[in-house]
Structure 1
Amino acid sequence: MPQYLLSIYQGDGGTPGPEVLDPIMENLATLNREMKAAGAWVFSAGLHPASSATVLRPRDGDVLMTDGPYTEGKEHLGGFTVIQAPDLDAALEWGGRLARAIGLLPIEVRPLADEAESCDPPGA
Structure 2
Amino acid sequence: MAEYLIYFNQQWVGDHSAEWFRGRGPLAAAVVDEIKAAGAYVFAGGLEEDGPVFSADATSGTLTFTDGPYAETKEWLGGLTVVDVADEETARMWAGKIAEACGWPQEVRRFGRQPATR
Q: TM-score, normalised by structure 1?
A: 0.79
The answer to whether the Cα contact below 8 Å between 1:51 and 1:68 also exists between their aligned partners in 2 is: no
The answer to whether the Cα contact below 8 Å between 1:51 and 1:69 also exists between their aligned partners in 2 is: no
SS in 2 for 1:5: strand
Q: Which residue of 2 aligns with 1:107?
A: 106
Q: Answer 1 or 2: which has greater strand percent.
A: 1
Greater Cα shift, 32-41 or 108-117: 108-117
Distance of 2:69 and 2:27 partners within structure 1 = 28
Q: Which residue of 1 aligns with 2:78?
A: 78
Q: Which residue of 2 aligns with 1:67?
A: 67
Q: What root-mean-square deviation, in Å, do the aligned CA atoms of Structure 1 and Structure 2 show? A: 2.3
Shift of 1:21: 1.3
Query: 1:56 and 2:56 equivalent?
Result: yes
Shift of 1:50: 6.7
Q: Which amino acid aligns with 1:108?
A: E
The answer to whether the Cα contact below 8 Å between 1:50 and 1:76 also exists between their aligned partners in 2 is: no
Q: TM-score, normalised by structure 2?
A: 0.82
Q: What are the ranges of 5 or more consecutive residues in structure 2 without an aligned counterpart? A: none
Distance of 1:115 and 1:96 partners within structure 2 = 26
Distance of 1:40 and 1:78 partners within structure 2 = 21
The answer to whether the Cα contact below 8 Å between 1:40 and 1:85 also exists between their aligned partners in 2 is: yes
Q: Which amino acid aligns with 2:35?
A: M
Q: Which amino acid aligns with 2:72?
A: E
Shift of 1:43: 1.2
Query: 1:98 and 2:98 equivalent?
Result: yes
